[in-house]
Amino acid sequence: NNHVVEGADKLSVQFINEKSINATIKGASAARDIAIISIPLKDIDEETANSIKIATMGDSTKLKVGNGVIAIGNALGYGQSVTTGVISALNRTVSIDNMKNDMIQTDAAINGGNSGGALLNASGEVIGINSAKYSSNGYSSEASIEGMGFAIPISDVSELIEKLMNGETSNEDKKGY
């Protein structure tokens, strides 16, 4: 997500074997909260390269409320985390930093550090990018919020991701500026 890398002086990608490689931002869109980072292929050792799998992209336009989902990420910086849940709502308008986007709402736990992680369908296809959650610090006698996580629908941003990956624009929000 853009909110993860925005303003960063230095980025690195850590793999499951705990090896890290410096990364750079290839392109970003603050309005859609999307960022593409890259690492030099020459810096990936053989062990890491052999363990990397390419994610299969799904079709978020085919989702239905009640479909099972899996959220993966790095919750609270503890390392890989996996949670499950269902799609609670589709096209839920969420406002973050005065920017509104229609998102997938899920009750799969999405916590700090999960941003940028994949939301998967039951077939293991990426159908969303974990981005936000609502929470509250209310007392039991007050209204409180639990289980409201949000993901960017992959079908809504697949074209933008492709453009950013191919370097067609370095910052989508300033295209034509």
Return the active site residues.
3, 33, 115
C-alpha distances in Å from residue 106, one per residue of 13, 37, 130: 27, 26, 10
Both structure tokens of 164:
């950013």
| Closest to 19 in 3D by CA, of 46, 39, 57, 48 | 48
Using only C-alpha atoms, the chain has a radius of gyration, in whole angstroms, of: 17
Which DSSP string do the residues of 4-46 spell out, in sequence order? HHTT-S-EEEE-TTS-EEEEEEEEEETTTTEEEEE--GGGS-H
Contact 108, 92 (CB under 8 A): no
Which DSSP string do the residues of 86-107 spell out, in sequence order? EEEEEEEEEEETTEEEEEEEE-
Sign of the dihedral defined by the CA atoms of residues 77, 80, 81, 87, in that order = positive
For the chain, the 3-state helix, strand and coil shares in percent, each to the nearest 5, are 20, 40, 40
